[in-house]
Every structure is written in structure tokens, then in C-alpha cells.
Amino acid sequence: MKKYFGDKKFYKMVMAVAIPIVIQNAISNFVNMLDNIMVGQVGTEQMSGVAIVNQLIFVYNLAIFGAISGPGIFTAQYVGQKNDKGVRYTVRFKLILSVVISVASILLFTLFDNTLIGWFLHDNGDGLDLMATLGYAKSYLKVMLVGLLPFALTNSYAGTLRESGETKVPMYAGLTAVFVNLVLNYVFIFGKLGVTAMGVVGAAIATVISRYVELLIVMVWTHSHKERAAFAVGLYKGFYIPGELCWKIIKTGSPLFFNEFLWSLGMSAITQCYSTRGLQVIAAFNISNTISNLFNVVLISMGNVVAIIIGQILGSGDTKEVVDTDRKLITLAVLASAAMAMLLMFLAPLFPKFYNTTDDIRNLSVRLMRTVAIFFPMHAFLNAAYFTLRSGGKTFITFLFDSAFLWVISWPVAYVLSRFTAITIIPLYAIVLSVEVIKVVLGAILLKKRIWIQDLVA
């Protein structure tokens, strides 16, 4: 039992890192749920249009996450070395990548909005208006593009602060932002306090404003607390990064970037396969994913915890401790996710009642939530295994483990079943999720071999 469960000191250490991240993710997802319900109150077409755009922006968000994850590995290990100059170099790398990806994404979404949104629109005779959905989606996307750059810059700063052990500041900034978003959503969507009701456009405006608020908070705190964020000293005095370090980050981080980008693109492609079953499915998935994400906060947060704690121990060079700590973190992640899965199974029927949509869509969303809940523990293990491998710089293996698997196995299964069979959405969804059992076996083998134990900054 001692191999898988830590003592009081261990859990106190883990909770110090995990609780701020869990709280931030939980509140962010809770407010996102409230936002989603507000849009869902306007109508099914509006909700579906927003869901499609958010699926596209999801690819951008993961591209940013992947881009800053590579330098983030080095950041965590430089922190373990107490090397402020090294941390500063990695932050500059993050900022440059964030700007480049944001500008490219804005151009792509602007030039090909009709094509990208239309990819998800299929008329299955369910009585929903496809052209209206397209119009709402385009209006929402146009405003959301203004918020891409602040999102990227916030993640560059907040990620560095977390990797440095300053987890509370990003949490407070995130909480403030979601509160601003919630209040402004209520005002702009429904037209309160003398403001004209703007529907989905109002939801987009509220989101963009909240992102600028979050960026302002993390930047002001970072540059006014240089004794606790030493990397900020001289951060913008030129953008010099040693060539050798650039190459190491690119070599280590490129598979991470392409993994996150291709994985998110693959998830969108799988969602597009699901969308062939009609616009009702898009609406039901919007409800299901929003609620499931709220119950998934422990799973997602534990990935960040693994990355931070394991990265710092690797930087300190204690091989024995890193193996023991990782095993206990994975056990904690799986058990906590199993508890959240049971809670979701029980509470699933409550949430769809808040949406202004049909009973068929509500019932379908409940079945989707209960289906994905079954796989929570498996996903918790896979997520923790992914971040373990990534912390040691085994990024090419994580690329094969994650996005390559999705494109080679998961997506072809979804494509074939959606195009060449009449199988309904629930068994289709369950089959696509279940093929990841193969990854569980592969992940367990990779962890046991300990090939991930590597000090990158020694």
C-alpha cells in the first residue's frame, strides 16, 4: 500500500500545488457552465453556433498550450535549479510563439470561417435551421478573434508562475476573469442595466473583456513582485535567447506543439463525425461536454500537478523520489476521477433542465454524460501518464502516445462507423472512447520502463 499511497506530508505537499489549480479550473468550468446555460436559454440554433465556434477555438487553445508546454518543461527544471536567467529565456520563447500562433490563427479563421463552420452543419431533418446556426456562429467568431492574443499571453505568464510555484496568482486572476465574464454575460446576452440584448454577440464580448482583465492582473502582479518573479527583471530588455537553448527547446518542444495541435484537430474531426448524426447531436454534445468538464476538473488539474512536481524533482536529480512520487500521484488522480465519475452519473439528469431546448436533446445529453463518466478513471491514468512522460522530455513518445494514436486508430474508427454504418450516436461514442484501452496498456509499459527519467537542464 505504501507504494501507491503517501503519508500526511506527501498529501500536504500535493494539495499545496493542486488546490489552487483545482479551484481555478472548477470555478472556471462552473462559470463556463453558467455562461453556456445563458446562451442555451436564447435558443438551440444559437447554442449550436456557439458550440461549433468553440470547437474551432479549442484547436487554437490547444496549439497555444502545446507551444508553451515545450519551454515550460525547461522552466520547471530551471526553477528546480534556481536559475532565474534560464527561466527568463524560456518565457521569452513562450511570448514569441504565442504572438506568431495568434496572428496566424486570426488570419485563418477570418479567411475560412464559412468553410470551417459549415464542416459541422448537417441536415438530418431534425427541424433546426442550419443557415441561422451559421449566421450566429459567424457573428460569435468575429468578436472572439479579438480575445485570442490576450489568451495566449495570459497562458505564457500564468504557466510560468505555476511552474515557479506561484499557483495562487493565476488562480486569483482566473477567478476574477470568470466573475467578470459571468456578470457581463448576464448584462450583454439578456440586455440588463440599460444595455441592448445582444445574444451570442454579447456572450463573445463578455468573454473577450474577461480575457483582457485576466491578462492585466497576471502582468501587473508579475512585474510588480520581481522578488518572487525574478524572471520578470529585464524580460523585455531585448529578446535574446541563447541559440543552443532555442534548439533544445525546439527539439524537445516541437513534438509537444504538434501533438497538442494535431490532437485538438483530431478531436474536432471526431466531433465532425458525430455531427453527421444531425444538429441535435451538436446541441446535446454542447450540454454534455460543458457539464462533464465541470466534473473533470480533478483529472485535468492532476495533469498540471504531475508536470510541476515531477519536473521540479527531475531538476533536483532525485531519481528514487521521482518514481515514488509519480506512482502516488497517478493513484490519487485515478481514484479522485472515479469518485467524480460516480457523482456525474448520479447528477447528470439535473443539468439539461436549465437549457431552452427539446426533450430529445436533453435526454441525449444525459446519456452522453453517463457514457463519458464510465471512462473518467481511464482518462485520468492516461492524462497523468502523458504528463509524466512529458516532464522527462520524452515528447516524441508523447506525440505517438497521444495524437498519432488518435489519427491512426480513434479517428478512422469514428469515420468508418459514422459514414458506413447506421449506428446511433451513443454506441458510436462509446466505441470511439473504448479503443483508448490500448493506450492504457502502452502507458503502463512506458511508465514501468522509466525511460522518462531525464534531467534536461543538468
pLDDT at 125: 61
Who contacts 73 (Cβ-Cβ below 8 Å, separation ≥6)? 252, 253, 256, 307, 311, 390, 391, 393, 395, 456
Task: Enumerate helices (H) and strands (E) in the chain, giving the number of each.
Answer: 19, 0
CB 213 within 8 A of CB 180: yes
What angle separates helix 130-144 from helix 44-81, to the nearest 10 degrees? 30
pLDDT recorded at residue 368: 96
Helices (H), ranges, 82-122: 84-111, 113-118
Phi/psi at 317 (5° precision):
85, 15
**Mean pLDDT in residue range 93-104:** 94
Distance CA(345)–CA(78), nearest Å, equals: 42
Q: Kindly report the length of the chain.
A: 458
Contacts of 178 (CB under 8 A, 6+ apart): 27, 28, 31, 32, 210
User: Binning pLDDT at 50, 70 and 90, where does residue 318 land?
Assistant: low
Dihedral angle, C-alpha 263, 267, 273, 277, nearest 10 °: 180
Q: What angle do CA 259, 263, 267 make, to 5 degrees?
A: 175
- pLDDT value for 124: 67
Is the pLDDT at 321 greater than 80? The verdict is no
Q: Which cell is 363 given?
A: 435526454
Span 40-58, pLDDT tens digits: 888 888 888 888 898 899 8
pLDDT band at 218 (very low <50, low <70, confident <90, very high): very high
Q: Which carries the bigger pLDDT value, residue 260 or residue 214?
A: 214
The band of 23, judged by pLDDT with boundaries at 50, 70 and 90, is: confident
Is a pLDDT exceeding 80 seen at residue 233?
yes
Residue 105's pLDDT band (boundaries 50, 70, 90)? very high
DSSP characters over 29-49: HHHHHHHHHHHHHH-HHHHHH
Q: What is the pLDDT of residue 456?
A: 58
Q: Hey, what amino acid is at 212?
A: Y
Q: What is the mean pLDDT of the chain?
A: 87
The answer to whether 218 touches 161, Cβ cutoff 8 Å, is yes
Q: Among residues of the chain, what percentage have pLDDT more than 90?
A: 39
DSSP 356: S
Is 15:328 a contact under the CB 8 Å cutoff? no
The residue among 376, 381, 436, 380 whose CA lies nearest residue 403 is 436
Residues 395-451: pLDDT tens digits?
788 888 888 899 999 999 999 999 999 899 999 999 999 999 999 998 888 888 877
Closest CA to 141 of 53, 39, 42: 53
pLDDT score, position 41: 83
- How does pLDDT run across 246-303, given as a tens digit for each residue? 898 888 888 878 888 898 899 999 999 998 888 888 889 989 988 998 898 888 888 8
